[in-house]
Structure 1
């Protein structure tokens, strides 16, 4: 066999190995799906004052992530120094729902619609998780997880946690609006004035701080969220001039200061967490 033939054979083998490694990587990527925590809602009241096992996702861009594998679910927070934890799947079933206190599929549907504006029509699988070896996995211990292609929810204690598939980066709620995506006349007014862009970021950051301090859940029925959305729709969005926006943003920032100053005295500047 000539040197040229040997070289050609080695080249073919190398290409074959690269193709196989690429396929294995693709299969592994398909086998793993990541979902980011975007909402938490209390399903039922308990006698004791209970806090959710997972932190409220007041800024989804930095919240908890669940990764689903063939035999387990793993949990981690963005910025965590460790690799998080994993809990094995004990059993899996086709989707059905009869968990107390919601009880029925119809009640679950109403709950999901009210809290997260989603319905359960595409839920496909239910997973029963096992014991957790680490205390950092408390929220997954013996939990029930219901899976759809683009989202899943986890039932643990009195709380339901909503996760969404990480198909694109989640917006950083601490920051001002993305002026490349400005559509309305108000958004364009804000983006034409650097002062308003900065103030919009301060208001968004203040909203995150208010949720961190006052919210008991993160859902469409959260009073802090309702009040913020009301200010945007009924106050900010009615402005037609820069002067009006400057006035309303200044007022909003002062209001947020009164709500969070005892906990976050440096607001409207960002805290060092």
Structure 2
């Protein structure tokens, strides 16, 4: 099967103009089919402050009330997404910017109120079985590089704020039936670090067996465990490989000689 790279970048890259410029130059240079899923960064908070829209969080998760969903739709789906697309066009990368509502790509359901009574508001949980793979396939076959904002929709006219990591994983799983997918999570570390205080201690390969051993030896810090668990969930659902690495190392991490942490089933 043909290879497809699905790459997720977080807000730390988006918030730094220089880092973003370097990253997009590298993304544009990747040959073949590719999809970029971006987070929102701190731009929505900054513009929200200017508009008098207070940012509210519970356990680090944004509460998306009525004013905030309008804000993030404007910022994520408009300002951030279209700036990325324009920069890619300048690099001769024929990109098209999308939200989950476009071509009905990512249907979602509004997250229910938790048992503890926490209402996250207009936050969406992806309906993985309803992803419109055929819409993505049409665009990929037409030669477009896709740039997806972290927004979905409920099919009733409501945009929903959705975690970009989750979108990347769901899209990777859905397209793994058509392509050999490598899902790459780009962040500010060199990979999964064996020693959290040593930037050069990235573990080059993690299989399920190695993962269990690392956890048994308490060598992984708690914050990275959900990323690895999500990676194995994607692999169990058909994704060939998941890589966690530094945004600056993107071009090397689309080769066989990766420098981040490559996660494989066996």
**TM, length-normalised to structure 2:** 0.27
Please identify the structure whose Cα radius of gyration is greater: 1
